[in-house]
């Protein structure tokens, strides 16, 4: 049964849309009044007959009929029609301070505005202030609240997006001569797959010029919480950036503090306390005397620990490992000798095998597997056995003429709903490298998905399961399956799991990497490149693996080509 509030909301929205659409004032007001009357009713209007509705002050016969339709069918044709003309984004703008329906109408009549992004663009271009009844103050206020709203929504951005912004921020701040040292700390430094805000840390004798330079960053919408040594900015698009300026002598302690994670810091403070120290962002102290603070190494050392890579600082056992000298020697990008998941123009790649090979050689890779899609992926012109063999001959021909990089004949074969593969075993057996992936029916129930993955893993032709969870960060949830069981079988079958480096995949996750390592399952860090530039994405897969404590030994493509195979 529809609640009064729901009915009133629809009526209000109709009023707003009519007003934005330039409808006659009385009609607009009729809907608003009706909405108010419905809200004020002590009984549920859904239980009233049309006659009873008609008797409510502020609701005439016409509106009484509309409300009954709404209650009966759950919607109103008029509301739907209007909603098509006035997209939700536009109505959302209404909630901004000072932007009532009247002003909103002015905006869409005079400027090309269909949503928040358009509004922000026009406001930044100074076009709002020129409209009657707006002015510069209002324009500023609108920009501010746009920025705050996005941030309040708790939106996290991908590591790659953050990296692009961080790079520009760092270049901008380095222009300030007072800056002696500069680091991007926080989750960004820990290489988390998404970043909530950026935390910058500068060492400088005088903070003032650094703060000025910070506030002069081109994309700033608002400066909030500006103090003498700290400030926060909100950038266009909504990302918040915090800056702290500290003296050199505190830089290490501050870097440690602002790198986090919070739980890592809590653990360190506990150790400090047990030793009679005080640890904070200014340094490590005993009473009035400073024990350490200039570098992170000093602070860790004074706590009986060795320095550790930020990727590990999640309080997942790294403190204990440092205490007993068992920190992992994390994988690095230059330890990857090859790439075992790439595409070409045979399916949905944007470059020829030759172009891909040129870039791979340039990047110092010793080998890569061409693993185009199988036939089921029709949208990408997936390969059937005939075209796959054709491609295989091309790969051999091209490979024969190459120096520096070796090519493998491979496939990204689709795992069908029942766990069988999209190409016959005999065809797969001819290949050098087989990546098996789920692309469809990702929302299968966990039991079926587990069975499906296991069946693929049991196929002796399969070398690795690609992007095992199928998630797309921010867009698609991971499929659910019994990871422990999948790992157990993968270990038994000597089948590897992929860490896909595409920024929106990063699949396996960091904790799944840890679990795989624990289960003795080898990983493959792959670019899933669809263009030559995509080979550079390997960096992100390496980040993810490092967060999962992965070392070179755990990763098949750190091996030379001849010892690649596990079986
Ligand atoms: P994010 O921004 O959500 O991606 O994650 P972080 O880790 O960058 O978190 P953020 O920006 O709130 O704070 C940056 C670092 O500052 C955090 O990793 C640890 C440190 N920090 C912040 N607040 C606290 C706190 O209340 N206690 C402690 N010990 N450390 C904190
Ligand atoms: Ca942060
Ligand atoms: Ca922060």
**Residues 441-450: tens digit of each pLDDT:** 998 999 999 9
Residue 475 alpha carbon to ligand 2 centre in Å: 22
Protein residue whose Cα sits closest to atom 24 of ligand 1: 262
State the pLDDT at residue 95.
Answer: 66
SS3 assignment, position 285:
strand
Ligand 1 pocket by C-beta < 6 Å: which residues? Answer: 186-187, 192, 195-197, 199, 257-258, 260-262, 265-266
SS3 assignment, position 542:
helix
- Which atom of ligand 1 has the smallest separation from the CA of 242? 11
SS3 assignment, position 290:
strand
Name the one residue in this structure whose structure tokens are 């006035």.
86
Residue 511 alpha carbon to ligand 2 centre in Å: 20
Global pTM exceeds 0.85 = no
Residue 354 alpha carbon to ligand 2 centre in Å: 41
Strands 230-235 and 240-246: antiparallel
Residue 310 alpha carbon to ligand 2 centre in Å: 13
Structure tokens given for 97: 């301070």
CA angle 497, 500, 503 (to 5 degrees): 155
Q: Which of 504, 505, 515, 501 is nearest to 543 (CA)?
A: 501
Instruction: Give, for ligand 1, the residue of 200, 260, 268 to mutate: max count of ligand atoms closer than 8 Å to Cβ.
Output: 260
- The whole-angstrom separation of Cα 179 and Cα 165 is 19
Residue 367 alpha carbon to ligand 1 centre in Å: 41
Measured between alpha carbons, how far apart are the two ends of the chain, in Å? 62
State the pLDDT at residue 262.
Answer: 96
State the pLDDT at residue 154.
Answer: 65
Ligand with minimal distance to 195 CA? 1
Spans in the chain with pLDDT lower than 50: none
pLDDT tens-digit map of 145-188: 887 766 555 678 999 999 999 999 999 999 999 999 999 999 99
- The whole-angstrom separation of Cα 165 and Cα 124 is 19
Protein residue whose Cα sits closest to atom 15 of ligand 1: 258
Whether 418 contacts 441, CB under 8 Å: no
Which residues have CB under 8 Å from 117's CB, separation 6+? none
- The whole-angstrom separation of Cα 211 and Cα 230 is 8
For the CA atoms of 79, 85, 88, 93, what is the dihedral angle to 10 degrees? -110
Q: Which of 556, 548, 558 is nearest to 518 (CA)?
A: 548
Protein residue whose Cα sits closest to atom 31 of ligand 1: 262
- Which atom of ligand 1 has the smallest separation from the CA of 194? 4
- Which atom of ligand 1 has the smallest separation from the CA of 188? 8
Residue 192 alpha carbon to ligand 2 centre in Å: 10
- The whole-angstrom separation of Cα 450 and Cα 470 is 13
Handedness of CA 163, 167, 168, 174 (dihedral sign): positive
Whether 15 contacts 32, CB under 8 Å: yes
- Which atom of ligand 1 has the smallest separation from the CA of 195? 4
Instruction: Give, for ligand 1, the residue of 154, 185, 187 to mutate: max count of ligand atoms closer than 8 Å to Cβ.
Output: 187
In the chain the domains, ranked by start, together with CATH numbers, are 4-151 (1.10.150.110), 157-246 (3.30.460.10), 251-323 (3.30.210.10), 333-565 (3.20.20.140)
Whether 500 contacts 494, CB under 8 Å: no
State the helix-helix crossing angle for 61-73 and 77-85, rounded to 10 degrees. 90
> CA 561: distance to chain centroid?
33
Q: Left (φ > 0), alpha (ψ -120 to 50) or beta: where does 306 sit?
A: beta
């Amino acid at each position: 049964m529809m609640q009064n509030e729901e009915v009133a909301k629809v009526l209000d929205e109709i009023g707003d849309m009519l007003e934005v659409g330039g409808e006659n004032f009385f009609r607009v007001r009729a809907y608003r009044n009706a909405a108010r009357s419905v809200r004020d009713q002590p009984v549920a209007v859904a239980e009233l007959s049309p006659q009873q509705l008609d008797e409510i002050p502020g609701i005439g016969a016409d509106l009484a009929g509309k409300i009954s339709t709404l209650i009966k069918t759950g919607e109103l044709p008029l509301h739907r029609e209007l909603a098509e003309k006035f997209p939700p984004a536009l109505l959302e703008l209404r909630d901004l301070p000072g932007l009532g329906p009247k002003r909103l109408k002015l905006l869409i009549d005079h400027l090309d505005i269909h949503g928040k992004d358009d509004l922000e663009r026009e406001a930044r271009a100074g076009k709002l202030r020129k409209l009657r009844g707006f002015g510069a103050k209002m324009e500023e206020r609108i920009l501010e609240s746009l920025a705050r709203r996005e941030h309040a929504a708790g939106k996290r951005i991908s590591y790659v997006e953050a990296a692009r912004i961080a790079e520009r921020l760092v270049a901008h701040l380095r222009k300030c001569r007072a800056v002696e040292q500069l680091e991007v700390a926080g989750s960004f430094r820990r290489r988390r797959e998404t970043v909530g805000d950026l935390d910058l840390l500068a060492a400088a004798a005088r903070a003032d010029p650094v703060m000025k330079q910070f506030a002069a960053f081109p994309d700033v919408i608002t400066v909030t919480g500006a103090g003498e040594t700290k400030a926060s900015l909100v950038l266009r698009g909504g990302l918040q950036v915090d800056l702290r300026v500290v003296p050199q002598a505190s830089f290490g302690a501050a870097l440690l503090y602002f790198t986090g994670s919070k739980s890592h810091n809590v653990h360190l403070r506990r150790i400090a306390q047990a030793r009679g120290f005080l640890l904070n962002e200014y340094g490590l102290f005993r009473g009035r005397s400073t024990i350490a603070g200039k570098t992170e190494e000093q602070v860790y050392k004074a706590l009986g620990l060795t320095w550790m890579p930020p990727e590990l600082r999640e309080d997942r056992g790294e403190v204990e490992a440092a205490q007993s000298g068992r920190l992992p020697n994390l994988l690095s990008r230059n330890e990857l000798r090859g790439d075992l998941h790439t595409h070409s123009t045979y399916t949905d790649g944007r470059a020829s095998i030759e172009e891909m090979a040129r870039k791979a050689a340039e990047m110092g890779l010793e080998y890569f597997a061409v693993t185009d899609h199988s036939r089921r992926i029709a949208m990408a012109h997936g390969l059937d056995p005939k075209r796959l063999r054709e491609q295989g001959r091309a790969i051999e021909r091209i490979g024969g003429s190459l120096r520096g990089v070796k090519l493998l004949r491979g496939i990204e074969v689709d795992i069908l709903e029942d766990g069988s593969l999209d190409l016959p075993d005999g065809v797969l057996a001819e290949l050098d490298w087989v990546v098996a992936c789920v692309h469809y029916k990702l929302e299968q129930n966990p039991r079926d998905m587990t069975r499906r993955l296991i069946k693929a893993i049991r196929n002796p032709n399969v070398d690795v399961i690609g992007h095992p969870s199928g998630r797309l960060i921010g867009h698609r949830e991971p499929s659910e399956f019994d990871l422990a069981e999948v790992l157990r079988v993968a270990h038994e079958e000597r089948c590897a799991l992929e860490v896909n480096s595409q920024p929106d995949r990063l699949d396996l996750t960091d904790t799944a990497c840890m679990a795989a390592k624990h289960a003795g399952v080898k990983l493959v860090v792959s670019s899933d490149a669809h263009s030559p530039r995509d080979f550079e994405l390997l960096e992100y897969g390496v980040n993810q693996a490092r967060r999962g404590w992965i070392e070179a030994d755990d990763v098949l493509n750190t091996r030379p080509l001849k010892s690649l195979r596990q079986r």
